[in-house]
């Protein structure tokens, strides 16, 4: 339904989801700030991932390791040597490309896909994607440190700490969320590829030999996570990597891809990292990084299955998938049909007349009560029609309206559902129990026995 990211980008700016970083200074390429609604959606994505990965299970625990690490980590992991993208420049128009963005015949003719000139492309040059900085006052080689390009290594180097303190037996996992940094050659497509982004990674340690079974398990598990949160199944697919695409540490990787306006693109990678990382760190640190298996009475190095997703890319996925435009009478209604759990605001309480103190007071009181069910706001800054449209556009599943009839006659309020625009009237003293049901069971189930109507003008 969404035709280009431009539409989303302008909605994000207009409604306060995402702003360009340091905008007043002209911005900074590929850096973005999440506004009041953006931070809510982002936090909800992280909360839901953490809940499904850590809290709902007994075999995975969490970690929050530091971004800066001993530089030996990145030598051992292979990132210093291998985390490169070959880059090609056009000597004529100065455009820069990742080699894999250029079709083979263009590369052969050294034809620039931007200016069309032949013979103007440089030979591919290796470009390391890690950001470098210096620790301490002296800027020499000995003080060089890296901003982590993935959160995974913080997990591997803590494998023994976590295993011995939690006494977990194989198979078990360690989950971590946090910022990662990659000096991407061609960041683009809004928040799809940025240089600073947030990852959610989980390393699942298994017995060697059980790895393929667990790889399949995690691909299915992660695919289902997306569909449970409302992502259209037809827009999701699983794509196993070809042998030539695999990262240096991987035996097999399957990407979960989503069909964006830019085409099918990776949103999460599930890799079989084998025992590569633990063995590399054991070798470089000269520490024992193994697991004592009581059954076999020996030390083994576990294999690792890693589901790795990007928070920002999932943000873009949920926004893209939920974006809808519909004709309502002569107008186009824009709605973000986000899953209740993802929606930044769950309930908006709207007074029909803001000049009536009794209406405003009751609406404020109800918003405070509803906030115990889910994040709720009070808004009286426009007419009711405009307020509904605004809440639709930011994905609020339910609006609660207090009107004259509420305070003068029946003590009932209207609840309007975002996707169907159906409405029900419920007594204020039942509002908490009805909205609790809405939060847990959804609209259809909750309103089975309550008369509904649709008012298309609101």
Q: Is the dihedral of CA 116, 121, 127, 132 positive or negative?
A: negative
**Which of the residues 348 through 387 are near ligand ATP (CB under 6 A)?**
none
199 lies in the binding site for ligand ATP (CB under 6 A): yes
Distance CA 312, CA 180 (A): 11
**Residue 362 contacts residue 407 (beta carbons within 8 Å):** yes
CB of 136 to ligand ATP, least distance (A): 28
Q: Give whichever of 150 and 417 is closer to ligand ATP, judged by the CB atom.
A: 150
Residue of the chain from 173, 269, 344, 397 that contacts ligand ATP (CB under 6 A): 269
Tokens of 307: 């589901």
Binding mask 302-331 for ligand ATP (x = CB under 6 A): ------xxx-xx------------------
CB of 266 to ligand ATP, least distance (A): 5
Tokens of 451: 């008369």
Residue of the chain from 40, 268, 379, 403 that contacts ligand ATP (CB under 6 A): 268
CB of 20 to ligand ATP, least distance (A): 16
To 5 degrees, how large is the angle CA 124–CA 254–CA 308?
A: 85
301 lies in the binding site for ligand ATP (CB under 6 A): no
266 lies in the binding site for ligand ATP (CB under 6 A): yes
CB of 144 to ligand ATP, least distance (A): 22
Q: Give whichever of 222 and 346 is closer to ligand ATP, judged by the CB atom.
A: 222
Nearby residues of 401 by Cβ (< 8 Å), 6 or more positions away: 349, 350, 351, 352, 384, 413, 414, 415, 416
The helix (H) or strand (E) run that includes residue 172 is strand 172-181
CB of 102 to ligand ATP, least distance (A): 16
Q: Give whichever of 64 and 140 is closer to ligand ATP, judged by the CB atom.
A: 64
CB of 174 to ligand ATP, least distance (A): 16
Q: Give whichever of 31 and 107 is closer to ligand ATP, judged by the CB atom.
A: 31
Distance CA 282, CA 285 (A): 5
Taken as a whole, the chain contains a residue count of 458
Q: Give whichever of 173 and 310 is closer to ligand ATP, judged by the CB atom.
A: 310
Distance CA 91, CA 112 (A): 9
- Catalogue the E-assigned strands of 301-403: 303-310, 323-328, 331-336, 347-351, 376-378, 398-402
Please choose, from the candidates 263, 393, 238, the residue with its C-alpha nearest in 3D space to the C-alpha of residue 319. Answer: 393
Distance CA 95, CA 74 (A): 30
DSSP conformation letters of 142-168: GGEEEB-S-SHHHHHTTHHHHHHHHTP
Q: Which residues pair with 293 in a beta bridge?
A: 298
CB of 270 to ligand ATP, least distance (A): 9
CB of 356 to ligand ATP, least distance (A): 48
CB of 187 to ligand ATP, least distance (A): 7
Please choose, from the candidates 9, 4, 1, 393, the residue with its C-alpha nearest in 3D space to the C-alpha of residue 191. Answer: 9
DSSP 179: E
Distance CA 284, CA 288 (A): 11
CB of 211 to ligand ATP, least distance (A): 18
DSSP 124: P
> Which part of the chain contacts ligand ATP (CB under 6 A), choosing from 161-169, 208-216, 261-269, 352-360?
261-269
Question: If binding means CB under 6 A, how many residues of this protein chain bind ligand ATP?
Answer: 16
Q: Give whichever of 267 and 439 is closer to ligand ATP, judged by the CB atom.
A: 267
**Which of the residues 145 through 184 are near ligand ATP (CB under 6 A)?**
150, 182, 184
Q: Give whichever of 266 and 393 is closer to ligand ATP, judged by the CB atom.
A: 266
Taking CB atoms, the residue at the shortest distance from ligand ATP is 310
Q: Give whichever of 180 and 376 is closer to ligand ATP, judged by the CB atom.
A: 180
> Which part of the chain contacts ligand ATP (CB under 6 A), choosing from 62-70, 266-274, 409-417, 429-437?
266-274
Note the residues at the interface with ligand ATP (CB under 6 A): 150, 182, 184, 193-194, 197, 199, 266-269, 308-310, 312-313
């Amino acid at each position: 339904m969404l035709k280009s990211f431009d539409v989303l980008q302008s909605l994000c700016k207009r409604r306060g989801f995402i702003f360009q970083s340091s905008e007043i200074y002209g911005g900074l390429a590929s850096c973005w700030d999440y506004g009041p609604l953006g931070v809510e959606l982002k936090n909800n994505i992280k909360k839901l991932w953490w809940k499904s990965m850590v809290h709902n299970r007994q075999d995975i625990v969490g970690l929050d390791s530091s971004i800066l690490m001993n530089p030996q980590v990145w030598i051992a992991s292979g990132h210093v040597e291998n985390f490169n993208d070959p880059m090609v420049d056009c000597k004529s128009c100065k455009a820069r490309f990742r080699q894999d963005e250029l079709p083979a015949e263009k590369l052969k003719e050294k034809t620039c896909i931007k200016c069309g000139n032949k013979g103007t492309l440089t030979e591919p040059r290796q470009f390391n994607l890690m950001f470098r900085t210096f620790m301490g006052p002296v800027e020499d080689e000995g003080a060089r440190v890296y901003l982590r390009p993935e959160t995974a290594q913080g997990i591997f180097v803590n494998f023994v700490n976590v295993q011995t303190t939690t006494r977990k037996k194989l198979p078990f996992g360690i989950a971590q969320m946090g910022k990662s940094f990659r000096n991407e050659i061609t960041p683009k497509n809004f928040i799809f590829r940025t240089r600073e982004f947030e990852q959610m990674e989980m390393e699942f340690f298994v017995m060697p030999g059980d790895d393929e079974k667990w790889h399949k398990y995690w691909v299915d598990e992660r695919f289902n996570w997306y569909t449970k949160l409302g992502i259209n199944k037809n827009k999701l697919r699983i794509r196993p990597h070809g042998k030539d695409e695999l990262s240096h540490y991987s035996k097999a990787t399957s990407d979960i891809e989503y069909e964006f306006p830019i085409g099918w693109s990776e949103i999460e990678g599930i890799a079989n990292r084998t025992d590569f990382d633990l063995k590399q760190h054991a070798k470089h640190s000269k520490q024992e990084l193994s697991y004592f298996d009581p059954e076999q009475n020996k030390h083994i190095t576990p294999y690792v299955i890693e589901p790795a997703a990007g928070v920002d890319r999932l943000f873009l996925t949920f926004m893209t998938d939920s974006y809808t435009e519909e004709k309502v009478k002569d107008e186009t209604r824009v709605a973000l049909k986000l899953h209740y759990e993802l929606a930044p605001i769950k309930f908006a309480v709207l007074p029909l007349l803001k000049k009536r103190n009794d209406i405003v007071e009751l609406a404020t009181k109800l918003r405070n009560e509803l906030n115990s069910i889910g994040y709720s706001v009070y808004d009286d800054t426009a007419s009711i029609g405009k307020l509904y449209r605004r809440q639709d556009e930011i994905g609020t599943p339910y609006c609660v309206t207090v009107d004259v009839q509420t305070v003068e006659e029946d003590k009932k309020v209207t609840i309007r559902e975002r996707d169907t625009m159906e409405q029900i009237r419920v007594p204020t003293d039942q509002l908490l129990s009805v909205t609790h049901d809405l939060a847990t069971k959804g609209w259809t189930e909750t309103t089975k026995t309550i008369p509904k109507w649709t008012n298309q003008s609101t």
